[in-house]
Structure formats: structure tokens, C-alpha cells
């Protein structure tokens, strides 16, 4: 099952490390980092989140 991991470039380093660890452990995962974004991506960058999910579901 595909997994899309999304974080912002301003997300706390510890959270980015967790995301990197998940990505290594989930062979079907993709990781996306949104420029100029922090932790609340669905609220601050809904178009980027929606596009990532459309791309995931379209595959």
C-alpha cells in the first residue's frame, strides 16, 4: 500500500527525523517536503497537500 509522507521545510528537526525513519521502514512510501511550510500543512498549504494526495491516489 502506498504511503505519502508530507512535511514542511520549517518542521522541527526531530519531526523530520521521524519522517525520515518512517520513510526508510516503509518501502512503498514517498516523502515530500513543502517549501516555506511548517507543521500544519493541511491548514497553511492545502493545495500542496491535495496535490500530493491526488498524485498518490492517481498511481
pLDDT mean by block of 10 residues, the chain; 59 residues: 92 94 96 92 94 86
How high is the pLDDT of residue 58?
85
Q: Where are any strands of DSSP class E within 3-56? A: 3-8, 29-34
Q: What is the pLDDT of residue 59?
A: 60
Q: Using CA atoms, how far apart are residues 38 and 58, in angstroms rounded to an integer?
A: 26
- The DSSP output letter for 35 is T
Sequence-distant (≥ 6) Cβ neighbours of residue 5 within 8 angstroms: 19, 22, 23, 26, 29, 30, 31, 32
Amino acid at each position: 500500500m502506498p504511503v505519502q509522507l508530507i512535511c514542511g521545510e520549517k518542521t522541527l528537526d526531530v519531526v523530520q527525523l521521524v519522517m525520515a525513519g518512517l520513510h526508510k521502514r516503509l518501502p512503498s512510501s514517498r516523502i515530500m517536503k513543502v517549501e516555506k511550510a511548517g507543521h500544519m500543512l493541511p491548514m497553511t498549504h492545502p493545495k500542496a497537500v491535495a496535490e500530493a494526495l491526488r498524485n498518490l491516489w492517481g498511481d
